[in-house]
Amino acid sequence: MDYIANEHRYETMDYRRCGRSGILLPAISLGLWHNFGNITPFGQQQQILRTAFDCGITHFDLANNYGPPYGEAERNFGIHMDRDWRPYRDQLIISTKAGYDMWPGPYGDHGSRKYLIASLDQSLKRMHLDYVDIFYHHRPDPDTPLEETCRALDQIVRSGKALYVGISNYQPEQAREAIRILRDLGTPCLIHQPSYSLLNRWIEQGLTDVLREEQVGCICFAPLQNGMLTGKYLHGLPADSRVAHDPRYLKPERALNEEILAKVAALNGIAQARGQKLSQMALQWVLRDPVVTSALIGASKPEQIIENVEAVHGAPFTREELDRIDAIVGK
Q: Which residues bind ligand NDP (CB under 6 A)?
A: 31-34, 61, 138, 168-169, 193, 221-227, 230, 232, 241-242, 279, 296-300, 304, 307-308
User: Which is nearest to 108 in space by CA: 123, 95, 94?
Assistant: 123
User: Which is nearest to 62 in space by CA: 166, 151, 157?
Assistant: 166
Comparison of 112 and 241: residue with beta carbon closer to ligand NDP: 241
Preceding amide of 68 cis, omega within 30: yes
Comparison of 51 and 323: residue with beta carbon closer to ligand NDP: 51
Comparison of 122 and 225: residue with beta carbon closer to ligand NDP: 225
For residue 303, the minimal CB distance to ligand NDP (Å) is: 7
Comparison of 165 and 296: residue with beta carbon closer to ligand NDP: 296
For residue 127, the minimal CB distance to ligand NDP (Å) is: 14
Dist CA 3 CA 82 (whole Å) = 11
Helix axis angle for 278-286 and 302-309, nearest 10°, is 60
What H or E segment, with its residue span, contains residue 30? strand 28-31
Dist CA 227 CA 233 (whole Å) = 8
For residue 241, the minimal CB distance to ligand NDP (Å) is: 4
Comparison of 112 and 308: residue with beta carbon closer to ligand NDP: 308
For residue 182, the minimal CB distance to ligand NDP (Å) is: 18
Is-contact 107 73, C-beta < 8 A? no
What H or E segment, with its residue span, contains residue 170? none
For residue 54, the minimal CB distance to ligand NDP (Å) is: 16
What H or E segment, with its residue span, contains residue 277? none
